[in-house]
Structure 1
Amino acid sequence: MKLVARLLRAMTEPTTEDEDLRTWYPDLSALSDRDLGDLVPAAYAVGREAPFVSMSVRLRVEDEAKQRQPRYTPEACERMFQALVGGLAQRKWADLELGVGALVRCTEPWPDLAGPARTLVEYLLARERLDQPFALLAIGGLAGDDVLRAVAHRLDRVRQGPIARDELDLVLRLEPAERVLLAELFDTRSFTSPAVAPHVWERVAAIPAFVEFARAAMEAAADRVRAVQEGEIPFRADKAFTGNEVAAVGHAARIALLRDEPWLPDLIDRLLPGVSVAPTQAKALPSQAMLYEIVRAAQEFPTPELVTAIRTVRGIVRHAGVPKQLDKMIKKVEAALAERTEVALRLPELGFGPDGVLRRDLGPYTAVVTVTAGKAELTFEKDGAALKGVPAPVRRDHKAEVAELRDLAKRVSAQLVTLARALEGGFTVDAVHPFARWRDTLLRHPIAGPAVRTLLWQIEAAPGDWRTVLPEADELPDAADDAPVRLWHPIRSRPDEVRAWRDLLVERRIRQPFKQAFREIYLLTPAEEDTATYSNRFAAHLVHYRRMFALFRARGWTSSLLGPWDGGGSDEAVRTLAAGEWRARFSHALADWQGEHEIAGTNRVVFDRRGDGGWREAALADVPPLVFSEAMRDVDLFVGVASIAADPMWEDGEGHEYWVRAWYADLGESTRTRREALERVLPRTRIADRCAIDGRYLVVRGELRTYKIHLGSANIVMEPDDAFLCVVPERRAAGARVFLPFEDERLSLIISKAFLLAADDAIEDESILMQIKRGA
């Protein structure tokens, strides 16, 4: 309480005793959420003419409040509204979101706020400040029906489009507390606002009138694009909906997605293609804004059906820039879907048989769509014999059916990608499924089954007795229908068990949809025990920044783009894990942006735990081992793939010293896993007698020279003088045909180079031969 009183005094009536607050930064994390609720009104009331110390404390209080969830007593709510009114003269505006936020987070019944509410709303209406429409409606309702009607009348003049006006009519019919909830969600968050309060979406989704509006709005939007496609409404690029309508449909979509309404997939399948492809040959979209708004809704409340619909649209849209933007957005959707386990693993059967095969007769030929662990493939047969390509009569007489089946194969492949991402993302949330549901809806599912059966699962047959099974090779143990089932992770097993599973996968040639048995694990090191709250394991690396930034997005990390502008020199990449309970932060900074390539330097990794309404930095020893391992695995990927050490052409000054240092560095976890895979795969190849693994290198004996391929970077030097060899193998090189139990681009590259160099006397590429013969 002493700290609260001192901060209040510093913002309202500072004394000489408070001057140290100019440079002393007290730990505001010690404040309770209620303490923050007492301080925020005072912070807002600090004006531009206030002493520097008051402004300094105000900024720190506001920054803390943005990271937390302040709680307001009725008295604090009243002070918040008084501060908003008091600031009108100076600001010529009031941040109504702060008033709404105080009401949403009020610990007791609201005080009578009719007076300040009327003052605020009448002032803003007189100056046409309508940029917080839902807050205007919510606070206008507190002032009285006459003020609420005045707000509605003014908004009705500026809100364009029937769907937007329907939403306005709905808001007027709601109760005051319901209008406040909508304002918390639907108005743009102000700079000083905290994140949306917990459970507000669920509370809005429980309002029957809004659920009715959600369905009506989605149906109206679908009908609109049908009319555009059929020519009833003239096509104009990105003009099918007004901006207000896009926002209203976005609100409706989020509520329907949160509730997982059964009627939604059909409407999405009608709406998304309709807004994405012009009825003419134009590359423009009927509503690019609506497409992106629906995808943003999916980032918050994803469903597998919507992810599949987005992927389908991504394949048919004609606008050159839209697929790239969708690719970026889909990564976030998939990361969110992985943590929404109650819907993430749901897949339609689409007419496939129990064996994962769909057959359709096309005259004397049969089209066959077959589901494997990773994708669906369309092939053709005649009299039971497989054919190469599409038979000419089928191409001629069954164009529509072939196009439909190709589209089906693409959609199923997209669903399998979504399933794999959702399953893999379940690691950090420790997702558990009831045995009967897992068996019947996943293991025996005609589309999901082939992928699910190649993964390792743990079934709790009895309390504490977790049994690991590979359904592709093992019988399932007897278990109760409600027995927990979870994905196996190597961090939970002994090293000998991990080795046995890896051997079995290679022996049976079972390829997993994502790296599971060969998954790297990262345990706390003595150095990290010493640093306690941060890890330098992946610090001091030089990386191609744009490549690393792309990997951030691919793995569901968020980060601002760095560049030579104010504040663009450094940032943190952040990923939330364990259903929002933990987050990892990976700091990095630009090292050089003057040259041809943007180079960044890497720094420490830290972990935060959610608590007391905000994030609190945690000791590494307190991070759950699986969460720690999965986060560090991502960072290892960023550094390993983007490092300039993996660039065979790097010759730049100081960076070259790092390049050489990385060549001799100890192997990291990902490289050790790559070496283990090679030890199992190479003996089964025709070049086995020419290959040997020596520490960090794969040594390949050719006819002309002997070569060392680095297992981390895939770069090559030649014996005896360690002269560097630059090789860019063909995409479809021999190594690409070697069975690998998981997908790893670097491992495939190493094997491709090994096949090439083992037969170096057959190389025809003069640029390679010249390098080899120069020192042979």
Structure 2
Amino acid sequence: MTTGPPAPRRAGILSLRRAKITRMSLRTLISVHLGEPSPESGSASKAGSASEAGVEPAPPGEVAAAEDALIARLDGTTRKSFEVIRAGLYNAPPSGDDWERLADSAYAGFARTVLEIAAVRAAAIQAGDIPYAADKAFAADEVAVLGRAVRVALLRDETWLPELLDRLLPAVAVAPTPARTLPSQALVFEVARSAQEFPTPEAAAALRAVRGIVRHAGVPKQLDRNLKRIDAALADRTEVAFRLPDLGFGPDGVYRSVVGEHEARITIGEDATLTWHRLDGQGLRGVPAAVRRDHPARLKELRELVKRARAHLTTLTRALEGALLAEPGQTYGRWRAEQAAHPLGRPLTERLIWEVEVAPGEWRAGLPVEDGRRFIDAAGEPWAAVGEDAAIRLWHPVRATPGEIRAWRDQLTERHLRQPFKQAFREIYVLTPAERETRVYSNRFAAHILRYRRLYGLFKARSWQAGMLGPWDGGYEGEATRVLPGRRWRGRLFVEYVDPAWQDELASTDQVRFERRTDDGWREAALEDVPPTVFSEVMRDVDLFVGVTSIAADPEWTDRGEDRYRDYWHRAGFGDLSASAEVRRDALARLLPRTRIADRVELSGRFLRVRGSRRTYKIHLGSANILMEPDDAYLCIVPSSRGAAGDGLFLPFEDERLSLILSKAFLLADDADITDPDILRQIERSA
């Protein structure tokens, strides 16, 4: 699953290379990057970077002055973007477009130059050519310039950057003396923040290497926080996420290590699990006492490796889900080498449906087996892939027929195959006649009342950008936006702050709109022009926001007495099913016949109807709220923290609401065994 440059070999501080020193000013190099004749030596005019020409450490202040000189000579649009980036205001942060304009300009060459100059200065400090002083290697304005340079290089995914970071970071993270201080703690953290914004696996690896050698007590803790955010952010850069290292796992997805008289195995499947075995292969139930006693450090390393493997699986899963929008896909040969045969990637790819272009415009779907050499179709029949140059992409149900979707859902259920994320059981959203009438906006999810704090957290979890709403000037209206992978489309959800009710901060939803990226920026698009996958994925997110954060999903809301949102709670809590609830209904239709309560349950319209000994109950498939027959009296059951489905029932996908509905169904089917006085009081009062 590795692409781009191979992982660079780590360079220790003692092996730092000394750059060749020549007399070339930053202003000369700026002229080179702008394609202008050099005001100095002729050889300098042919230099493409500081590493090629050789540079000397720049005097204090010259780095920032050189950046100002470069920016002044760029076009007006790029200069405007740069000023937004440099200001970095909380209420008006730079967008991806601002960074991309800067990265597409002559600043890219300047970025390499100043980073090479920084590496030269750091090497000189390590060699003793420049006197050492803690945290004085770079001034504050220089750190800011270098941070912008690193961000531009990371955004461009420059092939030269990993090797440079391997030289620069160790040299600024450890003093050339036995001191626990750093030549530039500020630059270490600036690089880490840059990698959070534009992550690459190589930048994360360089920071992890530095984390292992730094002597300062507080720096590793902060780097751990940075690295956690970098790992999460990698998932949003699908084009680089698959370069994550294999961590030493074998082709079979197993990491093996002999520890004393035992063997540790970390196996990649749905999760990363650590097991212990005797050297003859016999499995053990837990960690051997001898390992705990004699090899505590190695045991800690193995447990840390499990955590890293799980983090990689999470990152790759999110990256694959983002790749659902990749219409053209990639070549089959590259996919096999980088994903299907990768020790960490294979367990994910084998549980997902892929489609191969077997003829121009003709795609065939299948589950990969044998490292992707063959596929199994929805009927369970094997078929061989085509040529190495054939296109392959993830199958998306919005491109499939209802019959194909049903067949894949049957296949996965029969095979007890749980996918890394919803794919066969994924909700799909297509244009409605009402949306064709409104043309540029959708009111499908308008006028819902949501818990705002929970909504704001979900925005961040799903990569939506939103300003904070609240009871202040300008805080009553806002929008959340999500730029889709590929950065060609983005969705917009408009929200309004609602005056606090019962000490709850609430928000109401409004329109959903779409924009297409053009040379002039983002331009509003008609809904009919939005690709079906883009439309479906954005609307799926909005449906998720409503389903998870709506007050209709709160079973206790109705007990608040007089409340102006009570009508909404009842309407949304028992109303028509959303696309996610329809998928839930489909899954229940497949699962319930296999349960011990099959003869006491039935799907009826919007509800799962459960016949108990005391009453008959109707569980809404959207909200999981319960009504009791014959008078539709409401039954409040607060979900337990366990949220178990009951009977160890296999679920084809993770869905908290589906598990909740099933757990309530099992409870109510055996209502004669209920002992909770609050539940019994409600049942008996309405009987």
Query: Which residue of structure 2 lines up, in the alignment, with residue 61 of structure 1?
Result: none
What are the Cα deviations for residues 86-111 of structure 1, in whole angstroms up to 9, with x where unaligned? Answer: xxxxxxxxxxxxxxxxxxxxxxxxxx
Q: CA separation in 1, counterparts of 2:316 and 2:429?
A: 25
| Aligned with 1:559 (options 460, 466, 469) | 466
Give the Å deviation of 1:188.
Answer: 4.7
1:755 and 2:663 matched: no
1:174–1:361 Cα change, 3 Å: same
1:709 and 2:619 matched: yes
| Aligned with 1:724 (options 615, 621, 635) | 635
Query: Which residue of structure 2 lines up, in the alignment, with residue 478 of structure 1?
Result: 385
1:366–1:766 Cα change, 3 Å: farther
Q: CA RMSD in A?
A: 4.3
Structure 1 contact 164–248 (Cα < 8 Å) conserved: no
Secondary structure of the residue aligned to 1:389 is coil
Gap runs ≥5 in structure 2: 1-26, 40-55, 175-179, 212-216, 370-374, 377-381
Q: CA separation in 2, counterparts of 1:695 and 1:313?
A: 59
With normalisation by structure 2, the TM-score equals 0.76
Give the Å deviation of 1:676.
Answer: 0.9
Q: CA separation in 2, counterparts of 1:372 and 1:665?
A: 39
Structure 2 contact 157–200 (Cα < 8 Å) conserved: no
Q: CA separation in 1, counterparts of 2:182 and 2:650?
A: 43
Give the Å deviation of 1:680.
Answer: 1.5
Alignment of 1:8-47 (within 5 A): none
Structure 1 contact 312–411 (Cα < 8 Å) conserved: no
| Aligned with 1:586 (options 493, 515, 525) | 493
Q: CA separation in 1, counterparts of 2:607 and 2:598?
A: 15
| Aligned with 1:376 (options 253, 272, 282) | 272
1:448–1:491 Cα change, 3 Å: same
Give the Å deviation of 1:528.
Answer: 0.6
Gap runs ≥5 in structure 1: 1-133, 146-161, 277-281
1:496–1:291 Cα change, 3 Å: farther
Q: CA separation in 2, counterparts of 1:662 and 1:512?
A: 30
Alignment of 1:178-577 (within 5 A): 180=74, 187-189=83-85, 196=98, 199-204=101-106, 207=109, 210-215=111-116, 217=118, 243-257=140-154, 258-261=156-159, 264=162, 267=165, 293-294=190-191, 296-298=193-195, 300-306=197-203, 334-335=235-236, 337-338=237-238, 341=239, 343-373=240-270, 375-382=271-278, 383-430=280-327, 432-472=329-369, 474=376, 475=382, 477-577=384-484
Give the Å deviation of 1:570.
Answer: 0.8
| Aligned with 1:683 (options 576, 581, 593) | 593
Q: CA separation in 2, counterparts of 1:745 and 1:552?
A: 18
Tell me which amino acid in the other structure corresponds to 2:162: L
Structure 1 contact 727–768 (Cα < 8 Å) conserved: no
1:286–1:666 Cα change, 3 Å: farther
Q: CA separation in 2, counterparts of 1:448 and 1:346?
A: 10
1:212–1:744 Cα change, 3 Å: same
Tell me which amino acid in the other structure corresponds to 1:261: T
1:324–1:446 Cα change, 3 Å: closer
What are the Cα deviations for residues 490-529 of structure 1, in whole angstroms up to 9, with x where unaligned? Answer: 1111100010001111110111111111111111101111
What are the Cα deviations for residues 39-66 of structure 1, in whole angstroms up to 9, with x where unaligned? Answer: xxxxxxxxxxxxxxxxxxxxxxxxxxxx
1:321–1:760 Cα change, 3 Å: farther
Secondary structure of the residue aligned to 2:287 is coil
Give the Å deviation of 1:389.
Answer: 2.9
1:580–1:444 Cα change, 3 Å: same
Q: CA separation in 2, counterparts of 1:554 and 1:309?
A: 26
Give the Å deviation of 1:489.
Answer: 0.4
* Higher Cα Rg, which structure: 1
Q: CA separation in 1, counterparts of 2:397 and 2:123?
A: 47
The answer to which of 679-688 and 413-422 deviates more is: 679-688
Structure 1 contact 380–388 (Cα < 8 Å) conserved: yes
Q: CA separation in 1, counterparts of 2:530 and 2:592?
A: 37
Structure showing the higher helix proportion among its residues:
1
Aligned residues: 603
Give the Å deviation of 1:318.
Answer: 9.8
Query: Which residue of structure 1 lines up, in the alignment, with residue 564 of structure 2?
Result: 654
Secondary structure of the residue aligned to 1:654 is coil
Secondary structure of the residue aligned to 2:417 is coil
1:611 and 2:508 matched: no
What are the Cα deviations for residues 514-557 of structure 1, in whole angstroms up to 9, with x where unaligned? Answer: 11111111111011111111110000111111111111111111
1:691–1:441 Cα change, 3 Å: same
Q: CA separation in 2, counterparts of 1:179 and 1:619?
A: 38
With normalisation by structure 1, the TM-score equals 0.68
What are the Cα deviations for residues 646-682 of structure 1, in whole angstroms up to 9, with x where unaligned? Answer: 0111135121110111133211101101111111222
Give the Å deviation of 1:321.
Answer: 10
1:618–1:319 Cα change, 3 Å: same
Structure 1 contact 563–593 (Cα < 8 Å) conserved: no
1:186–1:389 Cα change, 3 Å: farther
Query: Which residue of structure 2 lines up, in the alignment, with residue 693 of structure 1?
Result: 603
